[in-house]
Chain A
């Protein structure tokens, strides 16, 4: 039987992707217009990481999952109302910015310190999970630096599958160029895994899991430490929306054959 895992999933919140976003630049750098009013969701790839973590924990008895989140406390609380109904986890909350414009170096410092401070954490069984890129900064750099700060040099990004072998080794599939996967075997934890979409559908809401989770989530939010991210040495010269709005030519009532000819001619143009 496999030894249990201790899985810390790093994941924060992002604006709902159906929202229109507009940047504003203030004295302390860029942010989003009405950022605190925008409806938020759990960062999608971090969400996949959380669901994969819960799945791995369920199939390896004795395992445990934490969600480590840096974000504005009030917004974290809103998003947790839904996320808590998905899978069992314990929240470690840090009260600070979830903006895409915050620096990954400082964010990683805060997350690594929060993981290191989890009471009773067995670092030899630790798997640090997260999304391989956020939907805000989209850098793919935070998890690597969290791993470095925790002394973990077994790292994987763009992970779509983990299979635990009979000997406890982890077979890991990572996305590489051209729609392919690199396959590696990591003999044992600790390791860092930045997840892509993975294999699992989003779990249905389960109010019972929600109630059990919320009992610990509310105190965790109350305990959330103020965690400013000063963006030391980083300056933005500009942040702008793409200018290009196309003049769409809408072609109605053209016979299919003629459309096909137009498309083939267009494909052949240089």
Chain B
């Protein structure tokens, strides 16, 4: 039978975030004996949070050196936990921290790794991983003979584990802090009122290059576009996505939407966010953009062109209309 290790790192407040709890659900569903491996400055809060999950063993690597995400220290901690647990399957959430380090750990263990798993199922006693290839264009189910097999699960694919807190007995795993030439100096974030990426938002609002193009009066209305979009984001608490054409324009310093960066880009060379709903505006809906909508369930689009990409089975509803006009009304209704 497979033995399972769930690897989780704590958040700055010492607890486990949703992606780790989702992974716990997935790890429990595999059915084998479960060990929890925790990494962080301190892990008491995290261990208490999931004490009642039924894990056979709790292991932890702790200390200030393991507070911050950093390849050298994260790989050392994760490697030690994997070696101590000796599990054949290692499941971890696909956070930026683990995604940066665990493939390297798989190599050190002589194992294999699969990332961006969207589902994890036990089939004939062995796990099978579902993941997408070619930027969400096709979905495959795969399995591996090599062990340990490290699997990073994408967030939003299973319900987070929930259960009563308690007290877990945690076995410390000693790790010599590896020498590193890297110092983490901080986090650069947009100012709170410019924060436009909200991974947990119910709605993704996508702005395309049309917002910056000449309109029916022959003029560009970038300032109004900015006001309408920001007004909507604030009122709806939506997350902002952009097409490549729009974010590239912003990057080239043209008079466009100042809050748009490459981080907002959705699609082939952008992100593939998960939201229950998405509203596309002034975006043509070309395939390299729409592959980024794979995990957006309900989709609507506003475009002047009745023959744009969204019309061809990519959106549930296409409103053939002027997005400026529609969004003015939408904002008024949301304010009311």
Binding site for B on A (CB under 8 A): 14-15, 17-18, 20-21, 23, 30, 32, 44-45, 100-101, 103-105, 108, 135-142, 144-145, 147-149, 153-158, 160, 171, 173-188, 191, 196-197, 199, 201, 232-242, 245-254, 256-257, 259-261, 263-264, 266-267
CB of B53 closer than 8 Å to a CB of A: no
Q: Closest approach, in angstroms, between the C-beta of A45 and any C-beta of chain B?
A: 7
Of B134, B202, B317, the contact of A249 (CB 8 Å cutoff): B317
CB of B4 closer than 8 Å to a CB of A: no
Cβ–Cβ contact B100 & A155, under 8 A = yes
Indicate with 1 or 0, residue by residue over B263-278, a CB within 8 angstroms of chain A CB atoms: 1110011000000010
Cβ–Cβ contact A176 & B183, under 8 A = no
Cβ–Cβ contact A144 & B107, under 8 A = yes
Which B residues, 105 to 122, have Cβ-Cβ distances below 8 Å to chain A?
106-108, 112-116
Cβ–Cβ contact A144 & B142, under 8 A = no
A residues in contact with B268, CB < 8 Å: 17, 44, 135
A residues in contact with B288, CB < 8 Å: 17-18
Most B CB contacts (10 A, CB to CB) among A15, A188, A236 go to A236
Count of B residues near A, CB < 8 Å? Answer: 101
Give the complex CA separation of A39 and B20 in angstroms: 40
Chain A at the B interface: mostly helix, strand, loop or mixed? mixed
CB of B65 closer than 8 Å to a CB of A: no
Cβ–Cβ contact A141 & B269, under 8 A = no
B residues in contact with A14, CB < 8 Å: 134
Give the complex CA separation of A44 and B181 in angstroms: 29
Q: What 14 additional pairs, Cβ within 8 angstroms, besides A155-B72, A259-B319?
A: A30-B140, A105-B112, A145-B104, A153-B178, A178-B197, A182-B69, A235-B144, A237-B141, A238-B141, A240-B138, A240-B140, A249-B318, A260-B333, A264-B334
Give the complex CA separation of A248 and B181 in angstroms: 54
Give the complex CA separation of A21 and B137 in angstroms: 7
A-B contact pairs, 5 of them (CB 8 A): A138-B116, A138-B133, A144-B101, A145-B103, A154-B72
B residues in contact with A100, CB < 8 Å: 133-134
Give the complex CA separation of A257 and B330 in angstroms: 8
Give the complex CA separation of A247 and B311 in angstroms: 9
Q: Closest approach, in angstroms, between the C-beta of A177 and any C-beta of chain B?
A: 6
Most A CB contacts (10 A, CB to CB) among B99, B114, B184, B315 go to B99
Cβ–Cβ contact B262 & A197, under 8 A = yes
Q: Closest approach, in angstroms, between the C-beta of B290 and any C-beta of chain A?
A: 11
Binding site for A on B (CB under 8 A): 69-72, 75, 95-97, 99-101, 103-104, 106-108, 112-116, 123, 128, 132-135, 137-146, 178, 180-190, 195-199, 202-203, 236, 248, 251-252, 261-265, 268-269, 277, 279, 286-288, 291, 294, 298-300, 302, 306, 310-322, 325-330, 332-334
Give the complex CA separation of A104 and B142 in angstroms: 14
A108 and B269 in contact, given A21-B138, A154-B71, A184-B70 (Cβ under 8 angstroms): no
Cβ–Cβ contact B140 & A248, under 8 A = no
A184 and B128 in contact, given A145-B104, A176-B96, A259-B326 (Cβ under 8 angstroms): no
A residues in contact with B287, CB < 8 Å: 17-18, 20
A233 and B134 in contact, given A157-B100, A178-B197, A257-B329 (Cβ under 8 angstroms): no
Q: Closest approach, in angstroms, between the C-beta of A29 and any C-beta of chain B?
A: 10
Cβ–Cβ contact B311 & A248, under 8 A = yes
Give the complex CA separation of A142 and B99 in angstroms: 12
Of A179, A246, A250, the contact of B190 (CB 8 Å cutoff): A179
Cβ–Cβ contact B188 & A183, under 8 A = yes
Cβ–Cβ contact B115 & A177, under 8 A = no
Cβ–Cβ contact A251 & B319, under 8 A = yes
CB-based nearest A residue for B143: A235
A267 and B133 in contact, given A197-B262, A261-B333 (Cβ under 8 angstroms): no
Give the complex CA separation of A95 and B187 in angstroms: 41
Cβ–Cβ contact B99 & A157, under 8 A = yes
CB-based nearest A residue for B190: A179
A259 and B277 in contact, given A178-B197, A180-B188, A183-B188 (Cβ under 8 angstroms): no
Cβ–Cβ contact A155 & B134, under 8 A = no
A177 and B299 in contact, given A239-B139, A267-B277 (Cβ under 8 angstroms): no
Cβ–Cβ contact B133 & A136, under 8 A = yes
A residues in contact with B133, CB < 8 Å: 23, 100-101, 136-138, 239
Give the complex CA separation of A247 and B312 in angstroms: 8
CB-based nearest A residue for B95: A177
Cβ–Cβ contact A248 & B135, under 8 A = no
Q: Closest approach, in angstroms, between the C-beta of B140 and any C-beta of chain A?
A: 4
Cβ–Cβ contact A201 & B252, under 8 A = yes
Give the complex CA separation of A240 and B330 in angstroms: 39
Cβ–Cβ contact B188 & A233, under 8 A = no
